[in-house]
Structure 1
Amino acid sequence: MNTKLITLKKALFGAALLTVSAAASSAEYIIDNKGAHASINLKVKHLGYSWLTGRFNEFEGKFSYDAKNVSASKIKVHVNTGSFDSNHAKRDKHIKSADFLEVSKFPEASFVSTSVKDLGDGKLKVKGKITIRKITKEIVINAEKIGEGPDPWNGYRAGFSGEAKITMADFGVPMDLGPASADVYLELHIEGIKKK
C-alpha cells in the first residue's frame, strides 16, 4: 500500500482519537436543585420606578464541563413556570396568568446551549436557545466560572454564574407595561454535582 496513504490514515485516526478523548474527558454534572445550591432569578423594572424581583423555585438540569476543553461544554435546563415566586401571592397569580407566563398552557420553559466560548480569566460566553410559551429564541448568557473542587461529602462540584436579557414581547407575552418594563434580566447561579 502507498506509504503516503498509510501515513494519512494514521494521522486521521490519531485526530479522531484525540477528538473522542476530548469529548470523553468532559465531566457530567447534575445541577444541585435539591440542596438549593442553584437559583434562577429575574428582575424587571416596575413601570420604570423600581426593580421587581422573582425566582423559579422548581427546575432541573445538567451540564458537561472540562476546563481543558471548555468549548465542548453542554447545558440543558428545564424550568417549572408554575413555581414562579416574587414573595407576593397576588402578583404571582397574575404573572402565572394568560397576561404573562400562562402556566396552565405553558407549564415549562427550557434552555439548551449551542456553544460555549472561553473568554479567559474565568469568563464565558454561552449561546443557546431559550423556550418560553413554546416560542424559541437565541440568547447569549455572559457567564463566569466561580470555582470547582471536592466537597465534604466525597463528591466533586463546579459552579458558575450568568446574566442575560430577554424581551417579553419576543415570547408572545401580551401584557405591555411600557418600554421601561419591556426587558427581563436573568440572574443565574448554578452549582453542579459531578456524576460518578
Structure 2
Amino acid sequence: MKKSLLGITLGALLLTTGSAVAADYKIDKEGQHAFINFRIQHLGYSWLYGTFKDFDGTFTFDEKDPSADKVDVTINTASLDTNHAERDKHLRGAEFLNTGKYPQATFKSTAVKKEGDELNITGDLTLNGVTKPVTLEAKLIGQGNDPWGGVRAGFEAEGKISLKDFNITKDLGPASQEVDLIISVEGVQQK
C-alpha cells in the first residue's frame, strides 16, 4: 500500500512539474523593457523610424512545447512617435492610422512553431479597423532570474505588413508599400 501511494505521489509530482514548463509573462511596460518599433522607406532614399510608446500585453512561453505559446498585445495607436510632431499628427489622421476612429491595434497569436532557433508566431493583427494574419519571426534573447526575485524572458521579433492590407491607401511611392516591424519585449513571469 505504501509503495503504490508513493508511486502515485511521485507520478503526480512529475506530471505537475512537466506541466509547469509553460509560464505566463506580463510585458515589462513599467520598466521600459519593451519596444514596438517600425520603419518604412522615405521615397526610397532613407528609412523613417517610429515607435508606439503605449502598449500592454502578455505572453505564454513553453520552451519544450512552442505550440502552447501565446501572445496577446494591445497598442494605443495615438502613442505613435516618429520624433516629428507634424508628421505624427498626419500619421494619426484618417489617411493613415485613423486613431480617432480606431484608437487601438491588437495582435493575438493563433499558432507558434519552432524552426531552428526561431519561433514563427502567426496571429491576427487588427489595425485601422482591419484584421489580417501576420507572421513574426522571433528569437529568445534570454531568460532567468532578475535581481528583484522575479523571473524574466526576453524576445526580439521582426515582421512586415503591407499598408494596403490595413486600409492605408495613401500612396507613398513604390519603395514605401510595406512597413518593417522591429519588436523587443521583456516579460516578467506571473505567479
Indicate whether the TM-score tops 0.5: yes
Counterpart AA for 2:155:
F
Aligned 8 A contact 1:110 1:130 in 2: yes
Map of 1:46 onto structure 2: 42
CA RMSD of the aligned region, Å? 1.8
Distance (whole Å) between structure 2 residues aligned to residue 127 and residue 23 of structure 1: 23
CA distance in 1, matches of 2:37, 2:109: 18
The equivalent of 1:110 in structure 2 is 106
Match for residue 179 of structure 2 among 184, 187, 195: 184
Whole-angstrom CA distance in 1 between matches of 2:59 and 2:93:
31
8 Å Cα contact 2:21-2:63 kept in structure 1? no
Once residues 135 and 22 of structure 1 are traced to their aligned partners in structure 2, the CA distance between those partners, rounded to angstroms, is 39
Question: Any conservation in 1 of the 2:27–2:186 contact (CA below 8 Å)?
Answer: yes
Where in structure 1 do 4 or more consecutive aligned residues deviate above 2 Å? 20-25
Could you tell me how far 1:86 is from its partner in structure 2? 0.4
Q: Deviations over 1:122-170 (max 9, x none)?
A: 3111111101012011111111110100000000000000100001111
Question: Aligned equivalents of 1:22 and 1:101: distance in 2?
Answer: 44
- From 69, 78, 88, the equivalent of 1:82 is 78
- The amino acid of 2:153's aligned partner reads A
Kindly indicate whether the alpha-carbon contact (under 8 Å) linking 1:78 and 1:109 is maintained by their aligned counterparts in 2. yes
- Percent identity, aligned pairs only, is 48
Q: Distance in 1 between matches of 2:60 and 2:156?
A: 15
Residue 154 of structure 1 aligns to a residue whose secondary structure is coil
Q: Answer with 62-71 or 52-61: which moved more.
A: 62-71
Q: Is the 8 A contact 1:55 1:86 kept in 2?
A: yes
Q: Which residue of 2 aligns with 1:31?
A: 27
- Once the two structures are superposed, residues 76-111 of structure 1 have per-residue CA deviations (whole angstroms, 9 ceiling, x without a partner) of 000000000001001100000111001000100010
**Structure 2 partner of 1:101:** 97
Residue in 1 that maps onto 2:120: 125
SS at structure 2 position matched to 1:102: coil
**Residues 145 and 172 of structure 1: CA distance in aligned 2, closer, same or farther (over 3 Å):** same
Q: Which runs of 5+ in 1 are unaligned?
A: 1-17
Q: Letter of the aligned partner of 1:153 in structure 2?
A: W
Is this contact kept in 1: 2:54–2:79, CA < 8 A?
Answer: yes
In structure 2, stretches of 5+ residues that fail to align are 1-14
Query: In the alignment, which residue of structure 1 is the partner of 2:129?
Result: 134
Q: TM-score, normalization: structure 2?
A: 0.89
The reply on whether 1:59 has 2:61 as its aligned counterpart is no
Residue 118 of structure 1 deviates from its aligned partner by: 1.3
CA contact (8 A) 1:22 1:69 kept: no
- Which 10-residue stretch deviates more, 153-162 or 172-181? 172-181
Letter in 2 for 1:162: A
The residue type equivalent to 1:82 in the other structure is: A
- TM-superposed deviation, 1:25: 3.6
Q: Which residue of 2 aligns with 1:8?
A: none
Aligned length: 179
